A and B are shown apart, each in its own frame.
Chain A
Amino acid sequence: MRQGLVRALGGVAILALVAGAAACNSNKSTGGSSSGSKNCGFEIAYFGALTGSSANLGVNIEQGAELAVDQYNDKNGANCISIKKFDSQGSPDVAPGLARSLVTDTKILGIVGPPFSGESEAADPIFDSAGIPLITPSATRPSLSTHGWKIFHRAVANDDAQGPAAAAYIQNVLKATKVFVADDQSAYGAGLADVVKSKLGSAVAGTDKTGADGKQTDFSATVQKVIASGATAFFYGGYYQNAGLLRKQLTAAGWKGTQIGGDGVNDPGYAKAAGNDAAAGSIVTCPCAPASKASGTFVTDYKTKWNTDAGTYSDVAFDAMNIFLKGIDAGNTTPEKMNTYLSTVNYTGVANTYKFTSTGELDSSLIKVWAFKFDASGNVVPDQEAPKS
C-alpha cells in the first residue's frame, strides 16, 4: 500500500517537473520580442551592498541607477527594462556565490557595479567568464583593470589618481609635515593607503592596520600610536564606519589633528559614527565631482524620487545605467554586443563624459578628483577640485 502511494506521488512529481520545464521553455522563446518595436524585456543588474556596514555607499549607487531605469520606462513603457538587485553586503565572501547566481539569468545584459574593490576582485572573474559587461561607478583599486577582464569598465578615476590627490592636499593645503597613515587591510583601503604613503614619503610619521568594518570596535592602540607619533594629519584608507569610530575615539583621547579619508569615507554615515562635532573639518577625497554639480534636472529628479539628496556616485551610477540603456536602444540586446558597444562608447552624462580605454579605465583626460569637507552639521560639502597632475 505504502509503496503504491510513493509511486503515485513520484509520478505526480515527475509530471509537474516536466510541465514546469515546458512552461519555462515556452516563456523564454516568446519573452524577448513581445513588446513590439522597442527592445524591452531585458534587465540590467545592480550588484553590490544594499545592507551591511557600508550599505549607504551601495544604496546611493543603486538609487541613481534605478532613477535612470524609471525615466527610461516612463518614455518606453512601464517595465520595459527592469533593474535586478543583488545584495552582496559589500563583502568579498558573499560576492562569488551571488555572482554565480547572477550569471544564470539570461535576461541580464549588463551590471552597474560592483561598487567596492574587494568584491570586484572576487566577483569580476565570474562575470568575465560569463561575458556580462559591467560598469563600476566606484571601485577604485587600480589593479582591477590589470587582470585582462574584457568586460571591466570603470566610470571614475582609480586610486592612482585619488591617492596622489589626497597626498597633495595633505601636503599643500593642510601643510602637514607629520602624517599617520592607517588602513583596514581591504583591497580598496590598503591599496589607497599604499599610494598615499608612497606619495607622502618621509612625511609619514607612523602606520598601522585595523580590522575591517564591523570586525573591530576598540581602536585604542591605533589612537595611542597616532598621538605618540605627533602627527597632525591622519589618513585612513577604509570605509566610513571604521573611519567614524576612529575619529570619535581620537577626539575622545584629545587628538586635535585632521582626519582625511578616501571616497569610501565620503558619506554622512561618517558623521553619524563619529558625532557631528568630531567629524567637522574632516576631509575626504573622491574621484567624482560633487553631486550637486550634476547637470540637467538630475539633482531635483533624485530628490523627488528618493526624498533625499543624491549621494556619492549616485550621478555616476545614473550615467552608467544610461550608457547601458542607450546601448539597448541601439540594438545591443546580447551581453556580447553590449560589451562591444561599451568599448567604443562616447557618452556625455550628468556627471561626466565617458570614454573607456582598452583596459576599461576611464579616458585619462576625463578624470576628476575633488576634495570634500564635513561641516558642523555632519554634511559633506565640496571643498576644492584637486589639480590634474
Chain B
Amino acid sequence: MNFSGLFHNLGPLTITGLAQGAIIALFALGYTLVYGVLRLINFAHSEVFMVGTFAALYTWGFFGLDQNSPTPSLGGVIGYMLIGLAAAIVVSGATALLVEFVAYRPLRRRNAPPLAFLITAIGASLAISSTVGVFTHQNIKGVPPLIRPATVVHIGNTVITNLQILIIVLALGLMYGLDRFVNHTRLGRGIRAVAQNPDSAALMGVNKGRVISLVFLIGGLMAGIAAVMYVLKIGDTKFDSGFNLGIEAFTAAVLGGIGNLRGALLGGLVLGVAENYVSGVFGTQWHTAGAFVILIVILMFLPTGLLGESLGRARA
C-alpha cells in the first residue's frame, strides 16, 4: 500500500481522474436519462458510444488523417474537431434512435415484461459490438493527433494540459446546458412529466413517444461528444471499447443517483478520481475492484446514490 505515492501524486492523479471522470459523466447521461424516463437500463448505450468513436475516426480518415499525420494548425484543429464532433453526434444519435425504434418500441407496444427489455438491451449491445468487430477485424484504430498536449498550468508536480481543460470544461458546460434544458424548457418539462408518471403526462397532452425518442437522442448526442473526447484522450478505439467504459458509466450513474442528471456528473467525476486514487495506493491492477468496492460502500449508506433519484420528482 503506497500512501506516500498517493500523497506525492495527489494533484496529477486528481486531474487525470477528473478528465477521465468527465468522459464517464457524459457517457453516463445516456443511462441515467433513459432510466429516469423509462425505468430501463439501456445496455446498448455502450455501443452508441463506440459507434461514435468510429464515426469520428472514419470521418477524419476521409480527410486523410490517421495516427501518423502531423498536427494541423489551430484553424485546422478547430475545423476537424467540429467535423469530428458533428459526425460522432449524428451517428451516435442516429444509433440511439435506431435502437429505440427497433429494440424497445415494439416491446413497449406489446406491454412486454421488464425482463424482455433487459434481454433485448443486452442483445442489441452484443449484436452491434460484434458486427463492428467483424468489420474492423477486431483491430484497434488509431486517432490522429489533433490536439498536441501542451501544459497550460503547472503547480508543483501537477500538470494540467490543454486537452484535460477542454474535456472538463466541455463536460461541465454540456451538463449545465442539459440541466437548463430539462428544467427550464417546455420539452424538458415534458421529459420530467413522462418520468414522473407516463400516463398522466399523456393525459396532459405530452406526446409520450416523442419524449422517449428525445431522451434517447439526447443520450446519444452526449455519448457522441464523450466519444470524441475519449479518442482524443486515449488515442485508440476498438470494437469493445464501449463495453468497459459502459460498465463504469453505468456505475457512475448509479453512484450519483440514477435518474439524476447532476448525479451523473458527480458520479462520473467521483468514480474517475476514485479509480485513480485506488491505482495510486494499491496498484493499477486494483482499480476496477477498488472502484466497485467504493460503489458498494456508498450504496450501503445511500441506497439511492449520492444525490438521490430526482428526474421523476417535481423539483426545479
Contacts and interface: CB of A to CB of B under 8 A. Distances in A.
A210 interface: yes
Contacts of B138: 51-53, 55
Contacts of A53: 138, 140, 238
Given A219-B284, A222-B284, A272-B67, A245 B234 contact: yes
A378 interface: yes
B238 A51 contact: no
Contacts, number: 106
B32 interface: no
A276 interface: yes
Contacts of A244: 140, 236
Interface residues of B, number: 41
A273 B140 contact: yes
Contacts of A185: 285
Given A51-B137, A185-B285, A211-B285, A224 B16 contact: yes
Contact of A210 (B8, B234, B285): B285
A209 interface: yes
A241 interface: yes
Contacts of A378: 68
B61 interface: no
A221 B159 contact: no
Interface stretch (B91-99, B259-267, B275-283): B275-283
B142 A273 contact: yes
Nearest to B70: A277
A378 B66 CA distance: 13
B2 to A, nearest CB: 9
A349 interface: no
Nearest to A215: B244
A19 interface: no
Contacts of B238: 53, 214, 217
B142 A209 contact: no
A255 to B, nearest CB: 11
Given A208-B283, A272-B142, A225 B159 contact: no
A244 B238 CA distance: 13
Interface in A181-237: 185, 207-211, 214-225, 227-228
Nearest to A219: B284
Given A53-B138, A222-B284, A254-B159, A275 B9 contact: no
B111 interface: no
Contacts of A217: 234, 236, 238, 241, 244-245
B276 A220 contact: yes
Interface in B148-183: 149, 151, 157, 159, 161, 163
Contacts of B151: 254
B198 interface: no
A234 to B, nearest CB: 14
A248 B236 contact: yes
B229 to A, nearest CB: 12
Contacts of A51: 137-138
A50 to B, nearest CB: 10
A214 B16 contact: no
A207 to B, nearest CB: 8
10 contacts: A209-B283, A210-B284, A215-B244, A220-B19, A221-B280, A223-B16, A245-B236, A253-B159, A276-B68, A378-B68
Given A217-B234, A254-B149, 17 more contacts: A51-B137, A51-B138, A55-B138, A185-B285, A210-B285, A218-B234, A219-B284, A221-B16, A221-B275, A221-B280, A221-B284, A224-B280, A228-B5, A245-B234, A248-B236, A252-B161, A254-B151
